[in-house]
Amino acid sequence: MNRIFLTLSIAANFALAAAVWYGLGVHDESRDLQAVKHAVSMHLLVALGASLLVLMLHAVVLTYFMGTGRWLEDTTTAYRLDERFRQRNIRLKYKAIPGMVLCMLLVIVTGAFGASADPLPTAASTMTSTIHFTLAMALVGLNLLVSGLEYAAISQNGRLVAEVVGEVRRIRKERGLDA
């Protein structure tokens, strides 16, 4: 899971940075109207792609923790393992969930403010553009931070799963179940 997560995380965070880069060119006053329209189109397309990648990244992490949690629950019950394995998994999962949910919500709110921001300067569009920019910067920073926290949780959970697999192998060998 570490490789999958790293690949998705790098792609999502790079796409967010690219969306910001294109977004910065939208309000360049030295550009003509055609160049501004192109910048808006590129920003919109890249931002939509980045949003989907960020949502997919965090959905994959949530699915991973749900799947390993269920497996650990079934395995600890079937092999009568110590409950500490499940409890460690639950702690790791609930350490990662708040950040991922916040990132997912921030993607949606940032996109909503981006949709309401008009690239032609008016008093109302300046305010929504400023809010959109602030949210976008917060999203980039938060997503980088949460990606690091999720990577640490996934790594610890992987070691936990390996520990449980080792216990299961030991028990199966003791009981003569592996021939």
Statement: the pTM of the whole predicted model exceeds 0.85: yes
Pick the range with the lowest mean pLDDT from 25-29, 31-35, 44-48, 57-61: 25-29
| pLDDT over 80 at 27, yes or no | no
Q: Whole-angstrom Cα distance, residue 168 to residue 161? A: 10
pLDDT digit string (tens) for 126-164? 888 899 999 999 999 999 999 999 999 999 999 999 999
> Which tokens is 158 given?
């992987």
Q: What is the pLDDT of residue 36?
A: 82
Q: Three-state secondary structure along the chain?
A: CHHHHHHHHHHHHHHHHHHHHHHHCCCCCCCCHHHHHHHHHHHHHHHHHHHHHHHHHHHHHHHHHHHHHHHHHHHHHHCCCCCHHHHHHHHHHHHHHHHHHHHHHHHHHHHHHHHHCCCCCCHHHHHHHHHHHHHHHHHHHHHHHHHHHHHHHHHHHHHHHHHHHHHHHHHHHHCCCCC
- Non-local (6+) Cβ contacts of 39 within 8 A are 22, 25, 26, 28, 31, 119
Name the residue among 31, 53, 23 with its Cα closest to residue 115. Answer: 23
Could you count the other beta carbons within 10 Å of the beta carbon of residue 60? 17
Alpha carbon 55 to its chain's center: 6
Q: What backbone phi and psi angles, to 5 degrees, belong to 35?
A: -65, -35
pLDDT digit string (tens) for 87-120? 999 999 999 999 999 999 999 999 999 998 877 6
Q: What is the pLDDT of residue 41?
A: 93
Could you count the other beta carbons within 10 Å of the beta carbon of residue 154? 21
Q: What is the pLDDT of residue 29?
A: 72
Q: What is the pLDDT of residue 86?
A: 96
